[in-house]
């Protein structure tokens, strides 16, 4: 059998990656996965994992391909699963369909099953090759990898800044730095995350809803407020605005008399360890990870973001630059003293840039996978 051209392999894997992105934000505790089945150079089946508990990407693609899957090439962003969960093993379905060759983007990062799907396919006589566009496929499942490796959510800090690096004027005014297109994309980011976190200062200053407001509707992420001393007003919008999501208040307070009014509003209280008089952020992230939160979007002011940065708890940054200047003494997205020398500055990796009208989105990662 002639070895396929690498351009063909990468082209088809890119199609699978595009499909997988449709499921981002909806598949937890599973990772998003995309799959295409190719016969004689033509895609005859495609699918993506839409939601946990529903068929996986391979099953959707096999159903669409039908008999044309026999002897065909199957491209999938993550190796087919080999174990019974809420759905049967995809590796068994691939074998039963008579697929000729399987190309996987990356091996399953779950140490309990890593490589087992590939082994099962090879034992059935199917040719398997993994590592096609592996870096892109691993980025796609970054939150799943982070939880498998450390039991923590992947933390993304989002901020809007002027071109001179300010999140607000000296008086605290911040509406609006960016235009409507950029702000709409922020709601898409919310829909793609399991949880959305702010500090109590943001609640006191802006009284946000912390919901996902997209034209076609979307799932609201879990709303998390870091409030060490329970200063969140009981009439805040996060308690009054109707949402499919729970509001979770992370605090150091343990007095039931102070906790009860929030519980009566339907909020969940998460009592965390205390560090320097505030919620221990490492403890909070560990608790969120333990409850299955894989991706966390932080839309806070400089105090919370600065603390996360100093404690090396940020995985990714998404910064929106508005085409404006504040001048003078504005507010920084990261409060605190910062580094003293440029040689100590934190480098970002895998930078990406995207325009929204006159605004620019800059994103990058702070750690290697």
Indicate the pLDDT class of residue 166, thresholds 50, 70 and 90: confident
Residues annotated as catalytic are 58
Residue 138, pLDDT score: 95
What is the chain's mean pLDDT, rounded?
92
What confidence tens digit (pLDDT) does each residue in 30-79 have? 999 999 999 999 999 999 999 988 999 999 999 999 999 999 999 999 99
Q: What is the spatial order of strands in the sheet that 101-106 belongs to?
A: 42-48, 34-39, 73-78, 101-106, 127-130
pLDDT of residue 153: 97
Task: Give 355's strand partners.
Answer: 360
* Secondary structure (DSSP) of 224-253: EEE-TT--S-TT-HHHHS--SSPEEEEES-
> pLDDT tens digit string along 74-90?
999 999 988 776 778 89
Q: Can you give the pLDDT at residue 217?
A: 65
Q: How many beta carbons lie within 10 A of that of residue 351, not counting itself?
A: 11
Q: What is the mean pLDDT of residues 338-346?
A: 88
Q: Give the global pTM.
A: 0.91
Q: Where are the beta strands (DSSP E) in 289-348?
A: 295-298, 316-322
pLDDT digit string (tens) for 16-31?
A: 999 999 999 999 999 9
The model's pLDDT over 92-121, given as tens digits with 9 standing for 90+, comes to 999 999 999 999 999 999 988 899 999 999
Mean pLDDT within 188-203: 95
Can you list the positions of beta strands (E) in the chain?
34-39, 42-48, 73-78, 101-106, 127-130, 154-162, 195-199, 222-226, 247-251, 268-271, 274-275, 278-279, 295-298, 316-322, 349-356, 359-365
Model confidence over 299-325: pLDDT tens digits?
988 899 999 999 999 999 999 999 999
- CB hemisphere CA count around 219 (13 angstroms): 15
């Amino acid at each position: 059998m002639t070895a396929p051209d690498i351009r063909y392999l990468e082209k088809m894997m890119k199609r699978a990656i595009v499909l997988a992105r449709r499921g981002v934000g909806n598949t937890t505790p599973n990772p998003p996965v995309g799959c295409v089945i190719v016969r004689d150079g033509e895609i005859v089946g495609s699918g993506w994992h839409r939601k946990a508990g529903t068929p996986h990407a391979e099953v959707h693609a096999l159903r669409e391909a039908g008999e044309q899957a026999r002897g065909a090439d199957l491209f999938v962003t993550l190796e087919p699963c080999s174990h019974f969960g809420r759905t049967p093993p995809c590796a068994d379905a691939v074998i039963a369909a008579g697929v000729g060759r399987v190309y996987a983007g990356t091996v399953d990062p779950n140490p309990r099953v890593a490589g087992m799907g590939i082994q099962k396919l090879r034992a059935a006589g199917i040719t398997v090759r993994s590592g096609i566009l592996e870096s892109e496929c691993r980025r796609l499942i970054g939150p799943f990898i982070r939880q498998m490796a450390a039991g923590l959510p992947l933390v993304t800090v989002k901020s809007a800044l002027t071109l001179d690096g300010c999140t607000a004027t000296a008086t605290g005014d911040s509406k609006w730095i960016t235009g409507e297109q950029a702000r709409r994309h922020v709601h898409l980011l919310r829909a793609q995350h399991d949880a959305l976190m702010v500090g109590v200062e943001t609640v006191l200053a802006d009284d946000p809803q912390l919901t996902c407001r997209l034209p076609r509707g979307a799932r609201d992420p879990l709303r998390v407020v870091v409030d060490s001393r329970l200063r969140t007003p009981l009439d805040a919008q996060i308690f009054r605005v109707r949402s499919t999501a729970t509001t979770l208040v992370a605090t150091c307070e343990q007095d039931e008399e102070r906790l009860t009014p929030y519980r009566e509003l339907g909020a969940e209280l998460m009592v965390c360890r205390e560090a320097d008089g505030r919620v221990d952020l490492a403890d909070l992230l560990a608790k969120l990870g333990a409850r299955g939160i894989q991706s966390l979007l932080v839309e806070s002011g400089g105090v919370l973001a600065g603390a996360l940065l100093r404690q090396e708890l940020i995985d990714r940054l998404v910064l929106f630059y508005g085409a404006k200047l504040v001048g003078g003494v504005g507010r920084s997205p990261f409060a605190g003293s910062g580094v003293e020398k440029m040689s100590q500055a934190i480098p970002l990796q895998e930078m990406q840039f995207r325009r929204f009208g006159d605004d620019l989105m800059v994103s990058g990662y702070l750690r290697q996978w």
